[in-house]
Amino acid sequence: MSWTDERVELLRKLWLEGLSASQIAAELADGLTRNAVIGKVHRLGLSGRTKGAATAEDEEPVQEPEIAQETQHSTQKIEACAAPVMPMVVGNTVLAVAIEDAPVEAQAPVPEPLPKMDVVVPLSERVTILELRESTCRWPIGDPTQPDFRFCGAHKAPGTGPYCTYHSRIAYQPQQDRRRIAKMQQKSA
């Protein structure tokens, strides 16, 4: 795809909002890289982005109160979690299956040493969509419409696509693994 007016407009907006090039690249999707974004930003003459640079002389010495900043953050996170999640579900059969499974896996409160087979990702290790990195597992955990929706977040192993070793294994053998998980749950129940 190329730089349509729409995409350029979105790029301009997000850039001026202060999103990083890689964040914008992810937002525009389509395999766009941050390099592409940065290149475009330069060609558009948008580089050198600074807060209120236009009226640079009288800078804003007053910092936003911390509380206000936190509120802002929360709002951003909620929006970010709600919106971009759906395409992942629609565009990928594996993900759709995963989301069906995720709530079941997530509710298993396994406190003891996990068998490697278990798909329980500790709450503290899970990440929001904003915390996803190129190198982290994108396996969804929970209900995408809920605020506590998270991704696995584990470090990706080489050759596992968007997922970590364990999740990619399941992703590539969904039928087999779902049966196996069902058995394990029967046993433990």
Is residue 39 near DNA by the rule CB under 7 A? yes
Is residue 92 near DNA by the rule CB under 7 A? no
Is residue 41 near DNA by the rule CB under 7 A? yes
Which of 5, 58, 1, 48 is CA-nearest to residue 29? 1
CB-based contact 119:152 (threshold 8 Å): no
Is residue 133 near DNA by the rule CB under 7 A? yes
Q: Kindly state the tokens that stand for 102.
A: 């995720």
Is residue 33 near DNA by the rule CB under 7 A? yes
Q: Least Å distance between CB 2 and DNA?
A: 5
Residue 130 has a CB neighbour count (10 Å cut-off) of 11
User: Using CB under 7 A, which of 16, 17, 29, 47 touches DNA?
Assistant: 47
Residue 144 φ then ψ, to 5°: -60, -20
Angle at 15 between CA 13 and CA 20, to 5 degrees: 140
Is residue 34 near DNA by the rule CB under 7 A? yes
Is residue 158 near DNA by the rule CB under 7 A? no
Residues that bind DNA (CB under 7 A): 2-3, 20-23, 32-36, 38-43, 47-48, 133-135
